[in-house]
Amino acid sequence: MSTTPIPASPEKPELPVLACPNCGSNLLTEGFYNSCSETTRLREDNDAYVVRDRLYIDHEESGHHTVDHQCDLETFCRTCNTRLPWTLPQIRDLNGEALSAAPAVIAKLMAELQEIPPDA
């Protein structure tokens, strides 16, 4: 009986470090969040019924779908829940970036911290 060797799983490369200025957590491994507002449209099927001489109208909802979705630009560290100094589009500039180029984008974000007045 011949056994086929199981191929080794591909190595998972380490994510670069984008540190939270408050707690130092790596936002790329521990996460960050933002809020969004959504308008949803759905169908409500209404039915009437009688219980002990009283009329009731109940409904069931179905067919939920998003009509509008707006993301807030403020971002927050998932670890310490502190507001981050970067907007959502600034952090998402890393999206699709080559791993070799990510440190330069992160360095640009970190350099912006030096430009922000302490009372901002």
Domain boundaries defined on the chain = 27-115
pTM equals 0.69
Whether residue 7 is predicted with pLDDT greater than 70 in this model: the reply is: no
pLDDT at 12 over 80: no
Identify the pLDDT of residue 115: 73
What is the DSSP track for 61-90? EEEEEEEEEEE-SEEEETTT-PEEEEEHHH
Q: Could you tell me if 115 and 85 are in contact, meaning their C-beta atoms sit under 8 angstroms apart?
A: no
Nearest to 35 by CA among 104, 83, 2: 83
